[in-house]
Structures are given as structure tokens and as C-alpha cells.
Amino acid sequence: MIRFECDYAEGAHPLIMQALVETNMEQTPGYSTDEYCGKAREYIKKACGSEDISVEFMVGGTQANATVISACLRPHQGVLCPISAHINTHETGAIEACGHKVLTLASDDGKVKVEQLEAAWNEHVNDANREHVVQPGMVFISQPTEIGTLYSLKELTEISEFCRKSGLIFYIDGARLGYALGAPENDASLKDITKLTDVFYIGGTKVGALFGEAVVIPNKEIQKDFRYHMKQHGGLMAKGRLLGIQFKTLFEDSLYYDISKQAVAYALRIKEAFAKCNVQMLVDSPTNQQFPILHKSQMEKLAEKYSFTFWERIDENYSCVRFCISWAAKEEQIQALEKDILDICK
């Protein structure tokens, strides 16, 4: 069985394992105050083009989202996001458990439009009884989205301008940020994102690390006391250097970008294979996740050799499934899948 069901089926990039093993018996102070974390911060600040940002390391995405959102919002505020947002669907109510309503906006392509945000905001501020309603306090998006689509630099800029004008926090969940940065059609760099947002995170778990997400905080207000929030959420790792060593390795040279770019290139080959067979896709994804709509007979045959994720039922005969091509995918796995797609779906 070759697994394309997710981008966390393997461990870490071998260079990361090597770094962890080499440093294993060193003694360092705890809680991300060690030199490895220091180096990782330095490299990430450079990649983000700013010395004025904070960089903190957390173990996973749900924890990062809950910590950031809880640190940013006051109790009467909620977070605007597309209905497909991970915080709305797959975090077991972690945001509500921190006291905040998730304010969902309709979305077909996993993205939210600035016009929707403006409409929601205007509806709130123009409501005579607005104190009876949760106040939007943040805009949450993912780059890439849950279904692999990308915001353009123009779209991100518009959302950022809207947020600044309206006093909302702009937060990007970058669980798969590498696969956005590695996509040929992407035009929003890490430096752009740093300029446009108040806070975002660079995903490691799904992009080469054993685990870990680097929370980047351009906004000074959010920087303040952020580590208290991390600790309260169980997110201040005792052996913080484990995170530092990993992000140091990913950002020392171009490893984070290289492995992401390779995974996207592989995914686009799979996309191309489905296109050759005239298989319809749920959405035109330029990143590492592809969502073909398959006949049940095609699904069955592909499932003999590959694991992939059931996404949603389309009709009696057809369903959408997800192929998720990670940093760990190998040329021979991709070749095999390409060939089988052409054999089975043509």
C-alpha cells in the first residue's frame, strides 16, 4: 500500500533526524530558550524579512490555532472564516472551548472574498443591537486552503487592508504553507505574508519536520505575553530545542522550499494524469493536494494499491477523493500512480 492519504504518514526529512540524533545528548536549557531555537528564529526572521517579529515554536496546528486565537481576541469577539476552515470543522470545538464563536462565511473554493468580510463587518457595525451579537475580531484563512487553492498576493493585500481599516486581526494558518510557497502559480512570498498579517504560522508537521509549527507574530500587541498563552495551552515544550533544531534545519538553507517544491511538482503530474483521462477535479488546485471526482469502479481499483481520503459524495456513482502528495513522496511512487491513473481512468 502506498499512502497518499495525508502529509503526515512518514516521520521527518532525514537531515532533521540526523540533526536530532547528533545533538541528542547535549544539555540545553528548556522551553525554547536554547541556542538552536535562537538560530531557528534568526533564520526565520531573515526569511520573513523582518527583525521586529516574534517567532515561537509549537508542536501542532490545533494547539497553535487555539493559542493564537485565544491570545488575540477578547471574550465577546469571534473569528470570521470560510465555512471549510479547519477551526470550524476538525478541531473538536477548540476555539469555542476558549470561549469564541467561529463566524462562518460561505465558500466553494475554500477561500473567503474580501467582499464577504466587508459585508459581515458592515452588517455587524450597522446593527442597532450589535451588543447582542458576537463581534468579529479576527479574520482567519489558510494558505493554501483546505482544498489546496491559493490566495493571490492581490487577494491577501485586499484582506489585509480591510482588516487594518476595520481593526480586525489578520491570521493565516500555514499548516501547509510550504506547498503554497512551492507552487509555480504562487505570487505571495513569506515576506509579503509577514507584511500583510498580524500573525501566521509556518507549518512543519506536514512539510518535512517530525512535528512543529513556527508561529510568526509581526503585530507588537500580540507579541506581548504570548509565551504565557503558549504555556497555558500546554504548548511550551519542555525540550523546546527539538523544535529549534528542526526549524533551524528547514530554514538554514533552502530545505523547506526545496521539499515543498518537489511535492507540488509531483502533485501537478498527478493532476495532469487525471486531466489526460478527462477526470473532473473538485477544484483547480495548484498545490500538493488534488481532488479528483472518481467513479466508484475507479476508486475501487486505485484503492487496491493506494490509500487516499474520501472527501465527499457527488452522486450515486461518483465521489470526490483526495490525493495528498507530501514532501516524502518518491519518484517511483509518483510514476506508479501516474501509470495506474492512465490505465484505470482512461
Residues 74-113 contacting a copy of itself, CB under 8 A: 74-76, 78, 89-94, 96-102
Report the chain's C-alpha Rg in angstroms: 20
- 207 contacts 178 by C-beta, under 8 angstroms: yes
**Cell 474580501 found at:** 114
User: Binding segment for a copy of itself among 71-79, 152-160, 248-256, 335-343 (CB under 8 A)?
Assistant: 71-79
Residue 174 Cβ vs a copy of itself, minimum distance, rounded to whole Å = 15
Tell me which of 37, 47, 48, 71 binds a copy of itself, using CB under 8 A: 71
Distances (CA, A) of 165 to 57, 70, 218: 30, 22, 17
Contacting residues for 121 by C-beta, under 8 A, at least 6 apart: 80, 136, 162, 166, 168
User: Binding segment for a copy of itself among 6-14, 44-52, 156-164, 191-199 (CB under 8 A)?
Assistant: 6-14
Considering beta carbons, is residue 196 or 250 the nearer one to a copy of itself?
Answer: 250
Q: Is residue 28 a contact residue for a copy of itself (CB under 8 A)? A: yes
Q: Is residue 176 a contact residue for a copy of itself (CB under 8 A)? A: no
Burial of 323 (0-12, 13-18, 19+ CB in 10 A): buried
**Cell 502533485 found at:** 267
Q: Is residue 10 a contact residue for a copy of itself (CB under 8 A)? A: yes
Considering beta carbons, is residue 67 or 84 the nearer one to a copy of itself?
Answer: 67
Closest by CA position to 243, among listed 73, 8, 19: 19
Cell digits for 333? 511512487
Residues 206-245 that bind a copy of itself (CB under 8 A): 206, 210-211, 225, 227-239, 242
Backbone angles phi, psi at 321, to 5 degrees: -125, 165
Q: Is residue 26 a contact residue for a copy of itself (CB under 8 A)? A: yes
Residues 289-328 that bind a copy of itself (CB under 8 A): 328
**Burial 16-45, CB ≥16 within 10 A → b, else e:** beebbeebeeeebeeebebebbebbbebbb
State the pairing for strand pair 318-324/77-82.
unpaired
User: Binding segment for a copy of itself among 45-53, 113-121, 126-134, 187-195 (CB under 8 A)?
Assistant: 126-134
Considering beta carbons, is residue 25 or 316 the nearer one to a copy of itself?
Answer: 25
Residue 296 Cβ vs a copy of itself, minimum distance, rounded to whole Å = 18
Tell me which of 205, 260, 285, 287 binds a copy of itself, using CB under 8 A: 205
User: Binding segment for a copy of itself among 40-48, 111-119, 123-131, 183-191 (CB under 8 A)?
Assistant: 123-131
**Burial 51-90, CB ≥16 within 10 A → b, else e:** eebbbbbbbbbbbbbbbbbbbbbeeebbbbbbebbbbbee
Tell me which of 50, 135, 166, 223 binds a copy of itself, using CB under 8 A: 135
Considering beta carbons, is residue 32 or 194 the nearer one to a copy of itself?
Answer: 32
Considering beta carbons, is residue 49 or 234 the nearer one to a copy of itself?
Answer: 234
- On the CB side of 236, CA atoms within 13 Å amount to 14
Residue 157 Cβ vs a copy of itself, minimum distance, rounded to whole Å = 28
Q: Which residues does residue 286 pair with via DSSP β-bridges, in sequence order?
A: none
Contacting residues for 268 by C-beta, under 8 A, at least 6 apart: 184, 286
Considering beta carbons, is residue 47 or 242 the nearer one to a copy of itself?
Answer: 242
Tell me which of 9, 265, 277, 299 binds a copy of itself, using CB under 8 A: 9
Q: Is residue 332 a contact residue for a copy of itself (CB under 8 A)? A: no
